[in-house]
Amino acid sequence: MKITLLGCGNLIQAIFLGCYQSKVLEDFEIYTYTPSKEKAKKLASKIEANFVNSLDNIPESEIFIFGFKPQNYQSALSDYQKIIPSGAEIWSVLAGIDLNRLENDFKDRKILRIMPSICAEINQSINLFFSNHLFSEEAFEKIFSSVGMNFKTVSEQSLEEMTAVTASGPALIYRFLESMKLNLIKQGVGERESEELIKYLLKGSADLLDFKKDDLSTLRSKVTSRGGMTFEALKSYENNHLDEITEGALRAAFLRSQEMKNE
């Protein structure tokens, strides 16, 4: 099965480097293309794929993966309409370009939207996906399961709302941890030491959650003594409406994704 990567941005590179390391690409014939050539050539060399230096040389493939910047969609549209044959599948990881637009622009092609996360770099991405068409599920599972877990959403609306959590989530978690790090620095702990302590805190907390097999609320209760210091810290969060702050941040991310559709 031939798969052509149209665009080789950071996310696509992370996914296919993970696939290559997991040896799942042996079942596919991969081609890479970018207008600037550099990223496509570099990725092809890393994953033993076929670098294509011109649109005219792109082979007829069963699957085309859109991995370029969403803001370049309109400028690339006419070229890609010419090279993607009727009946081919288009797997898009473009934020802000919805199924309705893709299906109108690429009639008679089967469109699949996928929203991975940057954690694909360490094979721990959450890959949300949705399609109105039948597509090559076996190929999809082979490729994307090698870099994380796949989750089919009930609708495209759900995919876009959940992406605020799964894709923006790492940055939101890091921002929260930055606040804890700053608190340590204010206490006189060095910046490097504070960074290491916070990283170890995150790893230990995640490992404990995995080890205990409890849900988040249960484990939080188990490590909180009523009337103790952790109890008071959590009460402060409640008094300052942590849930509403988080909901507002995720809502802002979702609304931005909707604005991007019109840009």
- pLDDT (tens digit, 9 = 90+) per residue, 34-83? 999 999 999 999 999 999 999 999 999 999 999 998 889 999 999 999 99
158 located within any domain = no
What is the rounded distance in angstroms from the CA atom of residue 219 to the CA atom of residue 212?
Answer: 8
**DSSP calls for 15-72:** HHHHHHHTT-GGGSEEEEE-TT-HHHHHHHHHHT-EE--SGGGPPP-SEEEE-S-GGG
Of 169, 178, 157, nearest in space to 261 by CA:
157
Q: Are 57 and 179 in a shared domain?
A: no
| Percentage of the chain modeled with pLDDT above 90 | 83
CATH number at residue 202: 1.10.3730.10
Out of 152, 182, 204, pick the residue that ends a domain: 152
Q: What is the DSSP string of 108-139?
A: TSEEEEEE--GGGGGT-EEEEEEESS---HHH
Please list, in sequence order, all residues whose beta carbon lies within 8 angstroms of the beta carbon of residue 31, skipping any fewer than 6 positions away: 2, 3, 4, 5, 49, 50, 51, 52, 58, 59, 61
Of residues 112 and 260, more confidently modeled: 112
Percent pLDDT > 70 in the chain is 100
Do residues 30 and 87 both lie within one domain?
yes
Name the amino acid, one letter, at 11: L
The domain tally of the chain equals 2
Choose one of 152, 185, 214: the last residue of a domain. 152
Assigned domain for 163 exists? no
Q: Which residues contact 189 (CB under 8 A, 6 or more apart)?
A: 197
Question: Of 75-89, 201-215, 247-261, which range is least confident?
Answer: 247-261
What SS3 state is found at 230?
A: helix
Please report the pLDDT score of residue 262 as a whole number: 74
**What would the two tokens of residue 20 be?**
């290559």
Q: Which two tokens stand for residue 1?
A: 């099965």
Q: Give the mean pLDDT of the chain.
A: 93
- H/E segment holding residue 3: strand 2-6
Whether pLDDT at 261 is above 80: no
Structural domain contains residue 45 = yes
Mind listing the pLDDT tens digit for each residue in 79-124?
999 999 999 999 999 988 999 999 999 999 999 999 998 888 888 9
- The enclosing domain of 106 has a CATH number of 3.40.50.720
Instruction: List, as one string, the DSSP characters of 158-178.
Output: HHHHHHHHHTTHHHHHHHHHH
Q: How many angstroms separate the Cα of 257 from the Cα of each of 13, 96, 174, 177, 252? A: 22, 5, 21, 25, 9
Sequence-distant (≥ 6) Cβ neighbours of residue 124 within 8 angstroms: 147, 148
160 within a domain of the structure (yes/no): no
> Could you tell me the residue range of the domain that residue 186 belongs to?
169-262
Task: Tell me what pLDDT residue 172 has.
Answer: 95
Asked whether 246 and 176 are in contact (CB, 8 A), the reply is no
- What global pTM score does this model have? 0.87
* Same domain as 143, residue 14: yes
Residue 139 and residue 252 share a domain: no
The CA dihedral of 178, 182, 187, 190, to the nearest 10 degrees, is: 80
Examine residue 161 and state whether it is found in any structural domain, yes or no: no
